Amino acid sequence: MSDNTRIQQFKQMTEADPDNELGHFSLGKACLEAGRFDEAAASLERVITINPKMSKAFQLLGDAYEKAGARDKAVEVMTRGVTVADEHGDLMPRDAMADALKSWGAPVPAFAPGAAPAGAASDAGSDSGFSCTRCGQPRGQLEKPPFKGPLGGKIHANTCSACWREWLPMGTKVINELGLALASEAGQSTYDQYMLEFLQIEER
């Protein structure tokens, strides 16, 4: 799928459901990847208005501002983002934003470097090494993969059952609003893409 087709599709979703953070997030991310930094920033600003806890959106927004030449705004957004990520237990976005701030010579909000983020610190009972990539909680792993195949295994390894339950109605919306035919390969791959973005699992 070309960048333009994807961006068009995500736009459609934000228009059909303007309060859906996922549509704006996907649109912002696609614009960022396509080098459309101003549009990316506008979409990602919308995401953090709808969901001020989504630390990954702060990270991408800061990135969009930096690439658009607005260093001041990038610093402001990432400074907020580090604290949001730390409170929410999102280790990876937190450290990435802290590194970006450091590389720009900007002050980094205090947190214990290398330590478990605040949101994940209290759970001593978990020794499985599991933590949910979306909410950062080290508990609540799904009992088994939600479906067969490598993608099901990936979700099992990375997603807690609460986040999985949040995704299901969102997935139904995606299907309805985009008119996806899951029997087709293109429909299935679009659906999977939304799912991975919602669950904040990197595609590799």
Which spans of this chain sit near Zn ion (rule: CB under 5 A)? Answer: 132, 134-135, 160, 163
Distance linking the first and last C-alpha atoms of the chain = 17
Measured from the CB atom, is 47 or 163 closer to Zn ion?
163
Kindly tell me which of 44 and 135 has the beta carbon lying closer to Zn ion: 135
Minimal distance in Å, beta carbon 86 to Zn ion? Answer: 17
What is the nearest approach in angstroms of Zn ion to the Cβ of residue 76?
Answer: 28
Instruction: Give min distance, CB of 199 to Zn ion, in A.
Output: 8
Closest separation between CB of residue 155 and Zn ion, Å?
Answer: 11
CB 48 within 8 A of CB 42: no
Q: Give dist(CA 144, CA 51) in Å, integer.
A: 29
- In the complex with Zn ion, the residue whose CB is nearer, 97 or 201, is 201
